[in-house]
Amino acid sequence: MLQYKHGASETTAALEFAVNSLQVPNVLVVGHSRCGGIQALMSMKSKKDDRSSRTFIRDWVSLGKSARLSTEAAAGNLSFESQCRHCEKESINSSLLNLLTYPWIEERVKEGNLNLHGGYYNFIDCTFEKWTLVYRPGLEGGSKYAIKNRSTWS
């Protein structure tokens, strides 16, 4: 859940090298089923939980907050397991939106020289789902995004 202002510096360095120096045409953010991080994010009860956890986890969880909120809005009536599955995919989209907070990534996406893709590996039924984020200028975080070319390999 990298974000321009909060991302881990080594991850940002790798990303910057790939995008600016190697000029890769595609970035793929992959999530997976039964994710322990997402389960922790979805089962965190209160602000108190938030404070008592260690800093790295707290930072990660705070970046995941928007994924949890939109999951609760869209799937709040489903079982905990279904909500986690929803949030696993939602957090991928929120990571893709966070990538757009890097000015040099947004620039290349805007020019059509870089595509941002989401991927979801479900190791329970051995399928891989893939989709592409549609770039919309002026887009900010939250759930205002569109996706295209969703396909599932099994």
| C-alpha to C-alpha distances, 52 to 43, 47, 58, 91, nearest whole angstrom | 14, 9, 9, 23
From 17-25, 28-36, 91-99, 130-138, give the range in contact with Zn ion by CB under 5 A. Answer: 28-36
Locate tokens 């705070």: which residue?
Answer: 62
Query: Any contact of residue 37 with Zn ion (CB under 5 A)?
Result: yes
Question: Closest distance between Zn ion and the C-beta of residue 33, in Å?
Answer: 9
Locate tokens 């940002």: which residue?
Answer: 12
Produce one character per residue of 112-122: b if its CB has 16 or more CB atoms within 10 Å, e if not. Answer: eebbbbbbbeb
Known binder of ligand: residue 87?
no
Query: Any contact of residue 75 with Zn ion (CB under 5 A)?
Result: no
Among 2, 24, 28, 35, the residue binding Zn ion under the rule CB under 5 A is: 35
Q: What is the dihedral of CA 123, 117, 95, 112, to 10 degrees?
A: 170
Question: Closest distance between Zn ion and the C-beta of residue 100, in Å?
Answer: 22
Query: Any contact of residue 119 with Zn ion (CB under 5 A)?
Result: no
Question: Closest distance between Zn ion and the C-beta of residue 36, in Å?
Answer: 6
From 27-35, 55-63, 72-80, 128-136, give the range in contact with Zn ion by CB under 5 A. Answer: 27-35
Of residues 37 and 119, the one with the C-beta less far from Zn ion: 37
Residue 50 — φ and ψ, nearest 5°? -55, -50
Residue 60 CB neighbour total at 10 angstroms = 17
Residues that bind Zn ion (CB under 5 A): 35, 37
